[in-house]
Amino acid sequence: MPMKSYHIVILGAGGVGKSCLTAQFTHNVWIEAYDPTIEDSFKKLTVVDGQSLLLDILDTAGTEQFTSMREMYIKSGQGFLLIYSITSLQSIGDLPALHDQICRIKETTEVPLVLVGNKSDLENERVVSRGRASFLANKWGGVPWYESSAKRRVNVDEIFWDLCRQMMRLERGT
Ligand code: GDP
Ligand code: MG
């Protein structure tokens, strides 16, 4: 099978763990502190269900000066990870507007997308209930939803692979 390549965009409020999740997935490392203003893209080869994939992953920093920049990378993205932190109500509150923006720009609600509640290791600081997140995932048409920990490397590969399967399905038209 020839290799496929996909463009993934990681979105969510500052501090939720976008860069840490990206580093764990692409380089298997836990780095405690990143410059929150750094926006970068990473290439990663992976195999999902026997298919070789070259992923181009954009780790956004939310510092875009013009909303037209965000529009540009949403346009070019084929799959999206929408990240919040289970320790921040504000971070999940930010996501519906982003989801709306993605659907508007893509002109469809059938967009490969995964909802991710990161920092699951901080259970004692939890303020976002599982119920609230699953309600949101259902409201968006039943998008997959996970809780992850970049720190403990829980559900890191799974969120990316789930997204890859959705992009592969969309391409096959099934
Ligand atoms: P970003 O702004 O979304 O890219 O967030 P970062 O990846 O830079 O992470 C922000 C802060 O949260 C850093 O201090 C990280 O060490 C911390 N962090 C990220 N993921 C986790 C996690 O899964 N568990 C815990 N406990 N801290 C995390
Ligand atoms: Mg970051």
C-alpha closest to that of 40 among 50, 31, 48:
31
- Rounded to whole angstroms, the Cα distance separating 78 from 28 reads 24
Give the closest residue (by CA) to ligand 1 atom 19: 17
Ligand nearest to the CA of 21: 1
Which residues of the chain have a pLDDT value below 70? 63-66
Give the model's pLDDT for residue 55: 98
Give the model's pLDDT for residue 64: 62
Give the model's pLDDT for residue 62: 74
Task: Measure 162 CA to ligand 2 centroid, in angstroms.
Answer: 22
8 Å CB contact between 40 and 9: no
Closest approach atom of ligand 1 to CA 150: 23
Give percent above pLDDT 70 in the chain.
98
Closest approach atom of ligand 1 to CA 36: 2
Q: Residue 43: how many CB atoms within 10 A of its CB?
A: 10
Would you state the structure tokens that stand for residue 161, as one six-digit string?
Answer: 């692979």
* Count of residues in the chain: 174
Residue 128 Cβ < 6 Å to ligand 1: no
Would you state the structure tokens that stand for residue 102, as one six-digit string?
Answer: 């993605």
- Rounded to whole angstroms, the Cα distance separating 84 from 25 reads 17
Closest approach atom of ligand 1 to CA 120: 23
Ligand nearest to the CA of 82: 1
Which residues share a beta bridge with 145?
115
8 Å CB contact between 112 and 146: no
- Rounded to whole angstroms, the Cα distance separating 75 from 47 reads 25
Half-sphere exposure of 80 (CA within 13 A, CB side): 27
Task: Measure 51 CA to ligand 2 centroid, in angstroms.
Answer: 29
Give the closest residue (by CA) to ligand 1 atom 9: 17
Task: Measure 51 CA to ligand 1 centroid, in angstroms.
Answer: 31
8 Å CB contact between 30 and 101: no
The model's pTM is 0.96
Closest approach atom of ligand 1 to CA 118: 23
pLDDT tens digits, 113-157? 999 999 999 999 999 999 999 999 999 999 999 999 999 999 999
